[in-house]
Amino acid sequence: MAKSVLICDDAAFMRVMIKDILTKNGYDVAAEAENGIKAVEKYNETKPDLVMMDITMPEMDGIQALKKIKEIDSAANIIMCSAMGQQAMVIESIQSGAKDFIVKPFQADRVIEAVKKAIG
């Protein structure tokens, strides 16, 4: 069975881009979310193998959503994504339990490398 991924990004074109990379490499997209609140809801509904989480989103940012999901499921696999390679955010993400960090714009091979590292 293909591994399922929840994609969380406030930009629809980014979700499409990630979805395209994942589906071409044999992964299922369990759901998509446009903010952190929806990400937590969709995580509870779909229980995906992996979450691809943008950091900068409206209503609830990716780091807050990461922490909430980790409270619900300490074994959750989450990869953070951001256009800003801000060191503090990377460190906070990893300390909060993220498996990896990908910088936009995405390179397909880097996305798949991070996904394989997180969930095989």
Residue 27 lies in a domain: yes
The 10s digit of each residue's pLDDT in 62-112 is 999 999 999 999 999 999 998 866 778 888 999 999 999 998 888 899 999
- Count Cβ atoms below 10 Å from residue 112 Cβ, excluding itself: 16
Residue 118 lies in a domain: no
Distance CA(76)–CA(66), nearest Å, equals 9
The residue length of the chain stands at 120
- The single-letter code of the amino acid at 9 is D
The 10s digit of each residue's pLDDT in 23-71 is 999 999 999 999 999 999 999 999 999 999 999 999 999 999 999 999 9
Residue 111 lies in a domain: no
CB of 119 closer than 8 Å to CB of 3: yes
Domain of 72: which CATH number? 3.40.50.2300
Range of the domain at 83: 4-101
Question: What's the number of domains the chain is made of?
Answer: 1
Residue 112 lies in a domain: no
Residue 46 has what pLDDT?
98
CB of 54 closer than 8 Å to CB of 36: no
Residue 90 has what pLDDT?
84
Residue 55 has what pLDDT?
93
- Count Cβ atoms below 10 Å from residue 57 Cβ, excluding itself: 23
Distance CA(109)–CA(100), nearest Å, equals 14
Residue 35 lies in a domain: yes
Residue 16 lies in a domain: yes
Residue 119 lies in a domain: no
Those residues with Cβ within 8 angstroms of residue 109's Cβ, 6 or more apart along the chain or in another chain: none
Look at the block and give the residue holding tokens 């609140």: 37
Residue 33 lies in a domain: yes
Q: How confident is the model at residue 1 (pLDDT cuts 50, 70, 90)?
A: confident
